[in-house]
Amino acid sequence: MIAIIGVTEDDILYFKTKMEIKATINFFGDVNAYLGSIFKEDTIVVATGQSNYLSSAIVSALISKYQPYLVFSIGSVASFSDQLKQGDLFIADRYYAADVDFSAPKIAPFGQIPGQPAFFVADTALNNKAESGAYLMTTRYIQRGYLLSGETFYMDSVSVLQIVKSHYLLEEGLVAYDCSSLGVALACSLTKTSFLSLKVVSYQIGKEDQKLNWVRKGLEMMPTIGKIITRFLVEKERI
């Protein structure tokens, strides 16, 4: 089984239309998971909401119950790099925390959850496969890099860049930000589950003109991301 994890119901709408849904399961409160299959692969699809706390709890429970061998994290990120533009496809190689701080009592450096690594690392082989497959599926710019994830939704560059300058100045690969991926990475790391993030850049932080269409830009790449995931499954079927 695979799991496809979105942030909003709109993120996962494309996948719901493409899968044969066999059951809708109420997970927590208003959170529903959709169980079925895509390209003969048992699949569970869920939207966690905008929070690393929520995504960690929901994905942990999902993995515990259904034990997927691979988790796809989809949805949107914001860019704070001039090299990463609105509408680009982003594949995360590392995941850093924007607002975890146990540095004052010297329990752990800034950004590190006590007892966990300083950052979470993606599976290089999966990322390589996703990148090569993406080039066959889209003419959009594709970039690998590091993702900063926190509990605050930013649309201005000052706050994000201050975090980077204060705590991650040497991490030149940090180019994108979101509010859910660290929770997914944590849940997968704790359960030793393979995971892959395929994200679209919905807006560039600080670009005022992009505030009008950032939601639409975040959704229009979901079919392409769906095709990339389907390619994974097709190639697996051929092996």
Residues contacting 69, CB < 8 A, separation 6+: 1, 2, 193, 194
How many whole angstroms separate alpha carbon 137 and alpha carbon 146?
A: 23
Q: Are strands 142-149 and 120-121 parallel, antiparallel or unpaired?
A: unpaired
User: Is a pLDDT exceeding 80 seen at residue 234?
Assistant: no
Determine whether domain 2-234 maps to CATH 3.40.50.1580.
yes
Percent pLDDT > 70 in the chain is 98
Q: Are 44 and 3 in contact (CB under 8 A)?
A: yes
d(CA 62, CA 67): 7
pLDDT given at position 137:
85
Strand boundaries in 101-185, DSSP class E: 120-121, 142-149, 174-178
- Per residue in 83-124, pLDDT (tens digit) is 999 999 999 999 999 999 999 888 999 999 999 999 999 999
Three-state SS for 92?
strand
Residue 176 confidence (pLDDT) above 50? yes
- pLDDT at residue 236 in the model: 63
Return d(Cα 8, Cα 172) in angstroms, integer.
Answer: 29
Q: Reply yes or no on whether the pLDDT at 40 is more than 50.
A: yes
pLDDT of residue 239: 40
Model confidence at 238: pLDDT above 50: no
How is the chain split into domains, by residue range?
A: 2-234
Residue 199 pLDDT greater than 50, yes or no: yes
Statement: residue 14 has pLDDT above 50: yes
- The structure's pTM equals 0.93
Separation CA 196–CA 92 (nearest Å):
8
